[in-house]
Amino acid sequence: MLFIDAWQFIVAHPGRFAGALTTHVALSAAALGLAIAMAVPVGVLLADSRRGTQLAITAANFGRTLPSLAVLALVMPLLGTGFVPALFALTLLALPPILINTCAALQQVDADLVDAARGMGMTYAQVMNQVELPVAMPVIFAGIRTASVQVVSGAVLASYIGGGGLGDFITAGIAMMALPQLLVGAIPATMLALGADWLFGLLQRTLTPVGMRAT
């Protein structure tokens, strides 16, 4: 049975599997982390400017339509092969959903809420940190969730430009028509993507202030 053969492949090549899995998780986590670190502050900074937010959303929407493989491939002539170029490309892929959601979420915060807080004497920074961001958190996390799946998915393609990861098993499996090896790449990659989706979904729900939860 194919699944058993796939399992036996992992057992026979533990180092190789562990290495690919580690690289895949490292690439995904790092890209996601970098994207969050860049997109959320930018979204916050632009929250006050209508035009700025519009521009950011338009640019990010443009970025959202770019095929993942195209971005990975286009980075290659510029940065060469390996982990770092793949990381660069994956970070670029993760930025749009997070940026769009951060901007949209902050814009949608109830103006009355903000006025009330200001009226109570809070500074801009206090309003942002204690009122706007918490309220915006669920939507921001929805964006992070989308980005995380995109990144895990994109990391599969990184194999082609020498970035390593679970994609290596898929391309090797295709080259050698070794179906068990294909599964060794495809199934863990799918599980990682589902896991990321589940994890950030959980975080999204946990971080939603109790008063705002739908259930």
Partner 1 sequence: MKWLGNNWDQVLVALGEHIVISFTALAIAFFLSLVIGILAARSERVFRWAIAFTGFLYTIPTLAFLALLIPVVGLGRANAIICMVAFSLMIMIRNVAIGIREVPADVVDAARGMGMRGIDILAMIELPLALPVIVAGLRIATVTVISVAVVAAYINAGGLGTLIFSGISNDFAPKIWVGGLTSCALAVAADLSLARIERWLRHRAD
Partner 2 sequence: MFPQRIFRNLFVGAVVLLLAGVPASAQVRVGSKNFTEQFIVAEIYAQALEAAGIKVERKLNLGGTLIAQKALEEKQIDLYPEYTGTMLLVILKAPSMTDPKAVYDKVKAEYATKGLVVLSQAPMNNTYNMVVRPETAAQYKLETVSDLARVAKELKLGAGPEFRDRADGLPGLKSVYGIEFKEDLQMAIGLRYQALAGKQIDVVNGYATDGMISALKLKRLKDDRNLWPPYYLVPVVRREALDANPQIADALNRVDALLDEPTMAAMNYQVDGEKEEPKDVARAFLKAKGIVH
Query: Does residue 71 bind partner 2 (CB under 8 A)?
Result: no
Residue type for 129, please? N
Choose among partner 1, partner 2, none what residue 62 binds, the Cβ cut-off being 5 to 8 Å by kind.
partner 1
Contact with partner 1 (CB under 8 A): which of 21, 25, 30, 73?
73
> Torsion angle, CA of 154/25/87/134, rounded to 10 degrees?
90
Shortest Cβ 43–partner 2 spacing (Å): 35
Query: Does residue 67 bind partner 1 (CB under 8 A)?
Result: yes
Query: Does residue 113 bind partner 2 (CB under 8 A)?
Result: no
**Is the CB of 140 or the CB of 166 nearer to partner 1?**
166
Q: Which of residues 175-204 bind partner 2 (CB under 8 A)?
A: 175-178, 181
Name the one residue in this structure whose structure tokens are 């814009």.
107
- Where do contacts with partner 1 occur on this chain (CB under 8 A)? 2, 61-62, 64-71, 73-74, 76-77, 149, 152-153, 156-157, 160-161, 166-167, 170-171, 173-174, 179, 182-183, 185-187, 189-190, 193-194, 197
- Where do contacts with partner 2 occur on this chain (CB under 8 A)? 16, 76, 80-82, 159-162, 164, 168, 171-172, 174-178, 181
